Amino acid sequence: MEQPVKRVVIVGGGFAGINLIKKLSKDKRFHITLVDKNNYTFFPPLLYQVATAFIEPSNISYPFRRLFQKKHNLRFHMGSLKKVNPEQNTIETDTGIVEYDYLVLAMGTESNYFGMEQVKANALPMKTIDDALNLRNHLLLNMEEAVHTNDMKEKEKHLNIVIAGGGPTGVELAGMLAELGRNIALKEYPEIKDLRSHLYLVDAGKALLGPMSVKSQQEATRILLKLGVKIITNTAVKDYRDDIVYLADGRTIPTNVLIWASGVIAREVPGLPATAIGRGKRIIVNEFNKVHDTQNIFALGDQSLQTSDTKWPNGHPQLAQVAIQHGDKLAANLIREADNKTMEGFVYNDKGSMAIISKYKAVVDLPKLFFKGFGAWFIWLFIHIIPLIGFRNKVKLAFSWFWSFITNDPTLRLIIRPRKEDVIDAKPRVEAAKELTS
């Protein structure tokens, strides 16, 4: 007898959600609805290049509906999750109610400001395409304002850039901004002498690239110092108000730009049992990614906390590879269940990590090997083109990189700013920047 089709609702079309969909949609016993608050999927590891006007946002994003063309068992529901009702097997979104047989939560994380309200109100986060575009506008506007003012204190505030968080995102941003200072600012802003000496990278930990090898940490520090970046470690940002960053050791840095690349917290899902919420608001799951104290709800990727994998007793790192492998494994397990087979437990296959530091300079940590320099940089480029969705995106990105690297002169430094005067004066910085790009 033919089995009834199972309705699988996946909330979040990032690395985990999309990889689950790719595998599961091949099996016609499942009807899949993807719920996402955006109508596109995107590639976070390259956000910093959008923020620094190096590549276009369309190079790293792809619309869901285009991805689902000609797939009869796939639907897209644009909406933001508001609540889960496990008793009724429904979710509530801001655009309606959706019913499910299986629910999969893969909504990732948001910035964690550790309770610092002024930092939250005034710093610029780096989590989404919107954030990257806000940051791009803000940085470019700031340069224009630096050119106009003759007041040296004001100028200093406009030129200083503080990046909080010395992980891969902070390091990559610092390297790229230093390159911009070297290659663009001198040519296009003759009024500004040297931008590089105004770049600060601050981290509460004892070294940059905390989770990577000591060799990678040392190489990143060496190159950034050579590029003129001021590195402050063992020191947390404590506050940011009236255009002054306050550090835990008492130092202050006047600046109009605090970029927040420091710490994340899982996105909240109202309606789940309280017993299922763990450290960093991550959702506690078993070895099959089933949410604690629920029957048919699963959580994947950054949003989940899985301690069953013996090599990772405190949970997996919040990285793309974990999310991709979670998506693949859950697809295989749901198919196994439909075949009346038992599910298999998840084991993470750590393929290593890498970070780009500046042009032609990167570090790669493989499980038993470290390497750096041009070879590492080239591999980084290659590895970041392969997973992009869409052949056109891969070609466009390869061409953008080729052009930008050989000319040292990408051409995307556009400030899109409708109603600037109305918005900037009246609102805190982050809201104002959001309106400028809307």
Ligand X SMILES: Cc1cc2nc3c(=O)[nH]c(=O)nc-3n(C[C@H](O)[C@H](O)[C@H](O)COP(=O)(O)OP(=O)(O)OC[C@H]3O[C@@H](n4cnc5c(N)ncnc54)[C@H](O)[C@@H]3O)c2cc1C
Q: Tokens 């940051």 correspond to what residue?
A: 135
Q: In sequence order, which residues have a C-beta less than 8 Å from that of residue 327 and are 6 or more positions away?
A: 15, 16, 17, 18, 19, 20, 21, 22, 23, 106, 300, 301
Lay out the site mask for ligand X across 28-47 (x = CB under 6 A, - = otherwise).
-------xxxx--x--xx-x
**3 state SS of 308:** coil
Distance of CA 384 to the CA centre of its chain: 14
Residues 187-226 that bind ligand X (CB under 6 A): none
Helices 129-148 and 429-437 sit at what angle, rounded to 10 degrees? 110
Member of 107, 135, 146, 277 binding ligand X (CB under 6 A): 107
| Cβ atoms of residues 135 and 48 within 8 Å | no
165 contacts ligand X (rule: CB under 6 A):
no
Nearer to ligand X, 256 or 318 (CB): 318
Lay out the site mask for ligand X across 259-278 (x = CB under 6 A, - = otherwise).
--------x-----------
DSSP states of 324-364: HHHHHHHHHHHHHHHTT------------EEEEEETTEEEE
Structure tokens at 200: 């600060």
Structure tokens at 414: 């556009």
Nearer to ligand X, 132 or 185 (CB): 132
Q: Which residues have a catalytic role annotated?
A: 172
Q: Where are the alpha helices (DSSP H) in 255-340?
A: 320-338
Nearer to ligand X, 216 or 318 (CB): 318
Member of 6, 8, 9, 17 binding ligand X (CB under 6 A): 17
Tally: H helices and E strands in the chain:
14, 25
Member of 57, 86, 168, 175 binding ligand X (CB under 6 A): 168
Nearer to ligand X, 158 or 315 (CB): 315
125 contacts ligand X (rule: CB under 6 A):
no
Nearer to ligand X, 78 or 140 (CB): 78
Residue 131 CB, nearest approach to ligand X (Å): 8
Give the CB-nearest residue to ligand X.
14
**3 state SS of 22:** helix
Q: What is the DSSP letter of 28?
A: T
365 contacts ligand X (rule: CB under 6 A):
no
Which range of residues in 95-103, 318-326, 364-372, 398-406 is near ligand X by CB under 6 A? 318-326
Residues 129-148 that bind ligand X (CB under 6 A): none
Nearer to ligand X, 184 or 269 (CB): 269
Distance CA 378, CA 278 (A): 39
- For 222, list phi and psi in degrees, rounded to 5: -60, -50
Q: Write out the residues near ligand X by the rule CB under 6 A.
A: 11-17, 35-38, 41, 44-45, 47, 80-81, 106-108, 126-127, 168-169, 267, 301-303, 318-321, 323
